[in-house]
Amino acid sequence: SAAEKGGYDYFMLKEIAEQPKAVADTLLGRVDGSGSLTLDEVRIPQSVLREADKVVIVACGTAFHAGLIAKYAIEHWTRIPCEVELASEFRYRDPILDQRTLVIAISQSGETMDTLMALRHAREQGARVLAICNTNGSTIPRESDAVLYTHAGPEVAVASTKAFLTQLVACYLVALYLGQVRGTKWGDEIRAVVRDLAQISGQVERVLETMEPVRELARSLAGKNTVLFLGRHVGYPVALEGALKLKELAYMHAEGFAAGELKHGPIALIEKDLPVVVVVPSPRGRSVLHDKIVSNIQEIRARGARTIVIAEEGDEAVVPYADHLVRIPATPTLLQPMVAAVPLQVFACELATARGNEVDQPRNLAKSVTVE
């Protein structure tokens, strides 16, 4: 009903708008006054966390993309090797798991059968499983050794939005916690990241206030058949997620690529007026990546692509090559996905509406897939 949708036309719009609160709620109560993480829910003995020699993330769909992003944070902050695998592929290749493997199963619903089967397999091999889940008391947390809940509130629209952002927050908290327990990350560093995480809610709010040009652009592309997405580093999984949203909602051919792979194949797809969304890393910090992606934008534009550039405020280098420029607030590199994903959600939602599609219930899809 209209009341359930809180005045929005679709649950998806409501859930996109709820993201600032969802992100803030997921941080709430998980950091103490001194800035240390207090993840009491993670009931896995600290000795086990100290001895873990590998992290394996299993998930499906949007949760898988959250896992791909989390890998960068986990490896950077903890120096523990981290693999990310589609839950549906995981147990069929006889993965190497033992008591020193920490498996993280990410699931909004907690009922996805592929993810459940993957975690059962992991536990049979002696691995510890930590669930990151949005649904209290669902099957995946019940069958895991511990759970860290995302506090996004109920997500109704089939295409995941607020759950995705909170999965990132939860994964980052786990990464910092592992660093804290293992001593690879110290108090001040943790406090600094927590401070940056605490800014994200307000930054998402600001992004949401500036989305009208993105909606307008989406409407103008309603007649297109294909949209490509490019990104690098944590922007690569953001590109994959942007493409997934467009497939799910607009039923368009949409593909995400690592920008560095462009020259190894995808550039052959570029033709006149093809819309290409590029997620640009911050020019501060990893500026090498930034410069490389700017030359990618030049290359595709020279071949006729219509470039839709998502870049942080103050990044002037992209301006000459952007047919459409979407500004996002400056964040540390690892945190950029939490703001960069938002325009892609709005873009897909508006394109779906313009094409006359059912936004909350896309054809052939289910909110939670309880068969393998």
Identify whether the C-beta of residue 193 lies closer than 8 Å to the C-beta of residue 200.
no
Which one of the spans 20-28, 155-163, 170-178, 255-263 is the region binding ligand G6P (CB under 6 A)? Answer: 155-163
Q: What is the rounded distance in angstroms from the CA atom of residue 131 to the CA atom of residue 120? A: 12
Candidates 213, 210, 266, 207; CA nearest to 236 is 266
> Amino acid identity, residue 54?
K
Identify whether the C-beta of residue 18 lies closer than 8 Å to the C-beta of residue 162.
yes
Judged by CB under 6 A, the residue of 26, 88, 107, 139 near ligand G6P is 107
Judged by CB under 6 A, the residue of 258, 269, 325, 369 near ligand G6P is 369
Write the CA distances from 206 to 17, 101, 344, integer angstroms. 11, 39, 15
Nearer to ligand G6P, 91 or 232 (CB): 91
Angle value at C-alpha 136, between 132 and 138, nearest 5 degrees: 80
In angstroms, what is the minimal distance from the CB of 296 to ligand G6P? 28
In angstroms, what is the minimal distance from the CB of 169 to ligand G6P? 15
Judged by CB under 6 A, the residue of 13, 57, 60, 249 near ligand G6P is 60
- Closest residue to ligand G6P in the complex (CB): 61
Nearer to ligand G6P, 76 or 367 (CB): 367
Judged by CB under 6 A, the residue of 61, 242, 266, 337 near ligand G6P is 61
Judged by CB under 6 A, the residue of 63, 68, 170, 338 near ligand G6P is 63
In angstroms, what is the minimal distance from the CB of 140 to ligand G6P? 7
The yes or no reply on residue 192 touching ligand G6P (CB under 6 A) is no
Nearer to ligand G6P, 115 or 166 (CB): 115
The yes or no reply on residue 26 touching ligand G6P (CB under 6 A) is no
Q: What is the rounded distance in angstroms from the CA atom of residue 218 to the CA atom of residue 223? A: 10
Nearer to ligand G6P, 237 or 329 (CB): 237
Binding mask 300-339 for ligand G6P (x = CB under 6 A): ----------------------------------------
* Catalytic sites, residue numbers: 367
Largest CA distance in the chain: 57
Candidates 152, 175, 177, 123; CA nearest to 62 is 152
Residues in Cβ contact with 108 at an 8 Å cutoff, skipping those fewer than 6 apart: 62, 63, 133, 134, 135, 150, 152, 155, 160, 163, 167, 368
Burial of residue 286 (number of CB atoms within 10 Å: 0-12, 13-18, 19+): middle
Q: How many CA atoms lie less than 13 Å away from 299 in the CB half-sphere?
A: 18
Angle value at C-alpha 185, between 181 and 186, nearest 5 degrees: 95
In the range 160-189, which residues lie near ligand G6P by CB under 6 A? 160
Which one of the spans 152-160, 264-272, 305-313, 335-343 is the region binding ligand G6P (CB under 6 A)? Answer: 152-160
Residues in Cβ contact with 3 at an 8 Å cutoff, skipping those fewer than 6 apart: none
In angstroms, what is the minimal distance from the CB of 154 to ligand G6P? 12
In angstroms, what is the minimal distance from the CB of 106 to ligand G6P? 7
The yes or no reply on residue 108 touching ligand G6P (CB under 6 A) is yes
Q: Residue numbers of the site for ligand G6P (CB under 6 A)? A: 60-63, 107-109, 112, 115, 158-160, 365, 367-369
